[in-house]
């Protein structure tokens, strides 16, 4: 396979990015800034995270690695440098940076960097009375409708695992960073609001209300794409109307000839009954068997692989997706077939003497 | 005011969300995006509906409209030799191609990376796929939630002891995420090109991005499903209150204050008879993060008050998809509606490809192109 390390100069070589967060910065924004900086570091930027004298709180955040380090810090700080967020060193780093990634509460971010990427929980100019009130990634997911879309209808709304919203804001912050770099030598400010990112991700729901009068909400097992049991775990039964014939071939079950399942509209009305039939028809197959047969039939089914499964997954191995040193993902892009190398997370304040 | 991608031309072969939304973001940043469809193959999003069985009669799906705004539209039959040649003439005068076809389709059409760089030595090709360009599963097909299952997200989503959970058809999270990431990688390649970089093929695997968004889980000694709970909070969950669901995140040092607020009752019992707004206010005063769980209508009602750039107004058609970030100076903007099929075929072939009127007439007459 072609996934060797990049030989040519990385695209952000020569760019210095400083991560500067306020003491009160919400965890969600720390995570977002951390991810944006991680992407920039992999792409060749010199990324310096300013840490308080007590160390970045993410150094202690669960889950932990086998060594007892924070897995979050190991992932997000890979390839970065660290400096103490105090005094002349921090001021010099900020003044000399091409860009700063910061939360809007960070009051001492100087005008000096030509590009500032500023993150907040709510959009600047929003007028809601809840703005001064505390929010978490979870409660912003609630306000953005993301929780309403996941889980079973009569059960509590559900978040997806990990930090999907915070990291999505991190992707947006990196996009804002590169957009700002393209504006050089003009000065620019890129702004990312966590709630706006949530609504942007969940656009179909408010757009459906505004333009079609339809209100989507979580359907769980009653959805068109249910998660079903199989012989050794679960499979997400993802398919399109055009895949129905192939799905019937996979199942080889006469119960699917039932008029209740004759067309997409009928299947939608009888989704729970259909899920029961499909589960009975496919339940004897393993995830690997389902994946092999889905590939042969060009069906978009999704066997539910665990993180442990993925560590030895043939596709992940073939594309060298996990780094050897820490087992964390490399940047998910190959540049002319080559992967960007991922560095190690920094010891504390390695640049204080710089 | 120079916009970030001003002067950059994109040929958009993207379909549904992943490819088409990537190109839409490039248009928002100032690129000239030309959506390329075919007389025999439309973007399936044109007839996509919010519920199976809900048929769009003559009207293009709003999902297509809101995702493809800001683009011009051309229709070329890439299986027709003349159509392919016209596409390569366009490529010679363009900077980028975005595509999310099944692997191998681009090469079979004769417009793979080698052909594109033969036409344009500084071409940037963004290939968005399920599994990446190579590997034993390169031919696997997927829609958004497939990636949640095969990328590890489903396995860490849901209650402990319960089944895995996916975002489903209405949210389809991986397809939204790839648009931001892919657009940012294309912009990075454009930045490198400004600095002398040459042709780039960006191999973007949606499965890998899904796993990347769970990065710490791969470093963790132990991975579990924990429902709404999170280790940073002593308690985090949704509770049924009088008029809906209440989302609450309680830090460890806030548990005593919570106990005082609820007079020792569980949060579920305390909130059961109270309206959401009252619960949020009382908890907020104690410093506890709390919010109503809004549905699409609630989200819409909060527009302007709580959020602003995520959706934008279109004077003719109502709300459009907006932006996941904004710039203070070179504002991201939507400058036009989504194109009808082949709406700009003649103009684009003349202006960009440099075709003569006679050549355009011949392309239209042969069926290699359609439109006005």
Classify burial at A214, counting beta carbons within 10 Å of its beta carbon; exposed 0-12, middle 13-18, buried 19 or more.
Answer: middle
Determine the longest span between alpha carbons in chain B, in angstroms.
83
Mean pLDDT score, B294-309: 94
Distance from CA of B80 to the nearest CA of A (A): 25
Which residue in chain B is spatially nearest to A13 when comparing CA positions?
Answer: B192
Percent over 90 (pLDDT), chain A: 79
Tell me which residue of A133, A31, A264, A123 sits closest to B304, measured CA to CA: A123
Tell me which residue of B162, B163, B167 sits closest to B151, measured CA to CA: B167
Whole-number Å distance between alpha carbons of A76 and A328:
10
**pLDDT tens figures, B145-199:** 999 999 999 999 999 999 999 999 889 999 999 999 999 999 999 999 999 888 9
Distance from CA of A353 to the nearest CA of B (A): 30
Which residue in chain B is spatially nearest to A308 when comparing CA positions?
Answer: B218
- What are the strands of the beta sheet with A46-51, ordered from one edge? A81-84, A46-51, A16-20, A99-103, A115-120, A188-193, B326-327
Q: Which tokens is A199 given? A: 């609504």
Give the pLDDT confidence score for residue A354 in this predicted structure. Answer: 43
Chain B residues inside the 8 Å CB shell of A274? none
Chain B residues inside the 8 Å CB shell of A174? 184
Chain B residues inside the 8 Å CB shell of A163? 213
Distance from CA of B281 to the nearest CA of A (A): 8
Give the pLDDT confidence score for residue A117 in this predicted structure. Answer: 96
The residues near B207 (Cβ < 8 Å, ≥ 6 apart) are: A315, B130, B131, B132, B142, B147, B150, B151
- Say how many C-beta atoms besides its own lie within 10 A of residue A241's C-beta: 12
Contact A319 B132 (CB under 8 A): yes
Give the pLDDT confidence score for residue A179 in this predicted structure. Answer: 98
Q: Indicate the helix (H) or strand (E) that contains B22.
A: helix B18-28
Q: Which residue has the tokens 């005063």?
A: B285
Contact B219 A139 (CB under 8 A): no
Give the pLDDT confidence score for residue B47 in this predicted structure. Answer: 83
Tell me which residue of B75, B52, B73, B77 sits closest to B64, measured CA to CA: B73
**pLDDT tens figures, B35-70:** 999 998 888 888 877 654 454 555 678 889 889 999
**pLDDT tens figures, B84-132:** 999 999 999 999 999 999 999 999 999 999 999 999 999 999 999 999 9
Instruction: Count Cα atoms within 13 angstroms, Cβ side, for B262.
Output: 20
Whole-number Å distance between alpha carbons of B107 and B99:
12
Whole-number Å distance between alpha carbons of B160 and B250:
20
Tell me which residue of B280, B209, B262, B196 sits closest to B22, measured CA to CA: B209
Residues in chain B: 372
- What are the strands of the beta sheet with B244-250, ordered from one edge? B235-241, B244-250, B289-292
**pLDDT tens figures, A131-173:** 567 899 999 999 999 999 999 998 999 999 999 999 999 999 9
CB of A143 within 8 A of CB of B291? yes
Tell me which residue of A5, A15, A60, A61 sits closest to A37, measured CA to CA: A15
Contact B157 A150 (CB under 8 A): yes
Of the ranges A221-225, A292-296, B199-203, which one carries the lowest mean pLDDT score?
Answer: A221-225
Q: Indicate the helix (H) or strand (E) that contains A116.
A: strand A115-120
Mean pLDDT score, A195-211: 94
Q: Indicate the helix (H) or strand (E) that contains A90.
A: helix A87-96
A287-304 burial, b if ≥16 CB within 10 A, otherwise e? beebbebbeeeebbbbbb
Q: Which residue has the tokens 């702004």?
A: A191
Q: Which tokens is A349 given? A: 């304040």
Comparing CB atoms, the residue among B140, B143, B319 nearest residue A240 is: B143
Which candidate in B175, B328, B337, B344 is catalytic? B175
Q: Which tokens is B194 given? A: 């400004």
Contact B228 A139 (CB under 8 A): no
Tell me which residue of B281, B224, B216, B217 sits closest to B248, measured CA to CA: B281
The residues near B116 (Cβ < 8 Å, ≥ 6 apart) are: B88, B91, B97, B123, B125, B199
Q: Which residue has the tokens 């920039």?
A: A40
Q: What would you report as the CA-atom Rg of chain B, rounded to the nearest whole angstrom?
A: 24
Which residue in chain B is spatially nearest to A321 when comparing CA positions?
Answer: B208
Residue A2 pLDDT > 60, yes or no? no
Residue A3 pLDDT > 80, yes or no? no
Q: Which tokens is A271 given? A: 């989704």
**Cα A194 to Cα A124, A169, B104, B180, B263, distances in angstroms:** 11, 6, 38, 14, 33
Tell me which residue of A167, A206, A115, A261 sits closest to B306, measured CA to CA: A206
Mean pLDDT score, A10-26: 95
Which residue in chain B is spatially nearest to A143 when comparing CA positions?
Answer: B294
Which residue in chain B is spatially nearest to A235 when comparing CA positions?
Answer: B149
The neighbouring-strand residues paired with B236 are: B249
Chain B residues inside the 8 Å CB shell of A314? 135-137
- pLDDT bracket for residue A96 (50, 70, 90): very high
Distance from CA of B161 to the nearest CA of A (A): 12
Per-position DSSP letters for B161-174, written without gaps between them: TS------TTT-HH
**Known catalytic residue: B77?**
no
Residue A8 pLDDT > 80, yes or no? no
CB of A39 within 8 A of CB of B212? no
Mutation choice for A interface testing from B65, B170, B191 by most A CBs within 10 A: B170
Give the pLDDT confidence score for residue A204 in this predicted structure. Answer: 92
Residue B4 pLDDT > 90, yes or no? yes
Mean pLDDT score, B190-210: 95
**pLDDT tens figures, A239-270:** 988 999 999 999 999 999 999 999 988 998 99
The neighbouring-strand residues paired with A228 are: A235
- Is this complex scored with an ipTM above 0.95? yes
Sign of CA dihedral B159, B209, A24, A199: negative
Contact B308 A204 (CB under 8 A): no
Mean pLDDT score, B213-217: 97
Q: Indicate the helix (H) or strand (E) that contains B247.
A: strand B244-250
Give the pLDDT confidence score for residue A129 in this predicted structure. Answer: 57
Contact A207 B321 (CB under 8 A): yes
Chain B residues inside the 8 Å CB shell of A311? 218
Q: Which tokens is A321 given? A: 């997706």
Q: Indicate the helix (H) or strand (E) that contains B255.
A: helix B255-261
Average pLDDT of chain B, as a whole number = 94
Whole-number Å distance between alpha carbons of A261 and A254:
11
Q: Which tokens is A70 given? A: 């924070």
């Amino acid at each position: 396979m072609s996934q060797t390390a990049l030989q040519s100069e990385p695209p952000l070589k020569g760019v210095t990015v400083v991560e500067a967060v306020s003491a009160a910065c919400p965890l969600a924004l720390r995570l977002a800034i951390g991810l944006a900086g991680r992407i920039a570091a992999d792409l060749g930027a010199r990324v310096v995270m300013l840490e308080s004298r007590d160390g970045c709180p993410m150094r202690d955040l669960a889950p932990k690695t086998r060594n007892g380090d924070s897995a979050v810090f190991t992932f997000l700080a890979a390839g970065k440098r660290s400096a103490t967020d105090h005094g002349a060193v921090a001021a010099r780093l900020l003044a000399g940076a091409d860009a700063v990634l910061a939360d809007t509460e960070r009051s001492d971010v100087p005008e000096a960097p030509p590009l500032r990427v500023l993150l907040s929980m709510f959009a600047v100019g929003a007028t809601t009375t809840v703005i001064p009130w505390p929010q978490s990634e979870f409660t912003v997911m609630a306000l953005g409708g993301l929780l309403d879309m996941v889980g079973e209808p009569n059960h509590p709304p559900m978040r997806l695992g990990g930090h999907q919203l915070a990291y999505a804001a991190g992707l947006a912050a990196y996009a804002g960073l590169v957009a700002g770099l393209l504006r050089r030598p003009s000065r620019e400010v890129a702004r990312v609001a966590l709630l706006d990112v949530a609504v942007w991700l969940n656009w179909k729901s408010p757009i459906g209300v505004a333009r079609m009068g339809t209100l989507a909400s979580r359907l769980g097992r009653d959805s068109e794409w249910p998660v079903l049991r199989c012989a050794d775990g679960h499979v997400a039964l993802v398919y399109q109307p055009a895949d129905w014939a192939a799905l019937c071939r996979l199942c080889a079950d006469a119960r699917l000839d039932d008029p209740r399942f004759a067309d997409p509209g009928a299947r939608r009305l009888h989704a729970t009954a259909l899920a029961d039939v499909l589960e009975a028809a496919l339940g004897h197959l393993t995830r690997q068997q389902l994946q092999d047969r889905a590939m042969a039939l060009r069906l978009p089914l999704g066997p539910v692989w665990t993180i442990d499964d993925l560590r030895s997954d043939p596709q992940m191995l073939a594309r060298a997706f996990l780094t050897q040193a820490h087992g964390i993902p490399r940047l998910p892009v190959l540049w002319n077939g080559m992967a960007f190398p991922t560095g190690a997370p920094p010891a504390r304040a390695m640049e204080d003497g710089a | 005011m120079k916009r970030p991608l001003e002067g950059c031309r994109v040929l958009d072969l993207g379909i549904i969300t992943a490819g088409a939304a990537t190109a839409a973001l490039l248009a928002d940043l100032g690129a000239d995006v030309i959506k390329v469809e075919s007389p025999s193959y439309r973007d399936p999003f044109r007839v996509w509906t919010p519920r199976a069985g809900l048929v769009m009669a003559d009207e293009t799906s709003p999902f297509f409209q809101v995702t493809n705004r800001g683009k011009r539209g051309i229709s070329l039959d890439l299986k027709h030799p003349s159509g392919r040649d016209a596409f390569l003439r366009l490529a010679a005068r363009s900077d980028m191609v975005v595509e999310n076809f099944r692997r191998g389709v681009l090469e079979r059409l004769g417009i793979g990376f080698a052909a594109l760089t033969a036409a344009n030595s500084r071409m940037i090709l963004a290939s968005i796929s399920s599994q990446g360009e190579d590997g034993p599963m390169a031919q696997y097909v997927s829609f958004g939630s497939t990636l949640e299952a095969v990328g590890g997200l489903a396995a860490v989503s849901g209650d402990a002891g319960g089944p895995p959970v996916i975002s489903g058809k209405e949210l389809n999270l991986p397809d939204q995420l790839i648009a931001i990431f892919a657009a940012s990688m294309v912009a990075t390649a454009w930045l490198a090109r400004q600095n002398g970089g040459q042709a780039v093929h960006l191999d973007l695997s949606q499965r890998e991005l899904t796993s990347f968004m769970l990065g710490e889980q791969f470093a963790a000694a132990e991975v579990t499903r924990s429902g709404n709970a999170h280790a940073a909070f002593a308690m985090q969950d949704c509770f049924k209150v009088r008029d809906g669901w209440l989302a609450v995140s309680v830090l460890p040092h806030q548990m005593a204050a919570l106990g005082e607020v609820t007079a020792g009752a569980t949060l579920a019992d305390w909130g059961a008879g109270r309206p959401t707004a009252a619960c949020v206010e009382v908890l907020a005063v104690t410093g506890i993060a709390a919010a109503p769980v809004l549905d699409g209508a609630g989200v819409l009602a909060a527009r302007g008050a709580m959020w602003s750039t995520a959706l934008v107004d279109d004077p003719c058609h109502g709300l459009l998809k907006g932006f996941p970030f904004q710039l203070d100076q070179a504002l991201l903007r939507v400058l036009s509606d989504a194109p009808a099929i082949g709406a700009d075929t003649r103009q684009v072939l003349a202006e960009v490809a440099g075709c003569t009127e006679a050549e355009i007439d011949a392309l239209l007459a042969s069926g290699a192109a359609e439109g006005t």
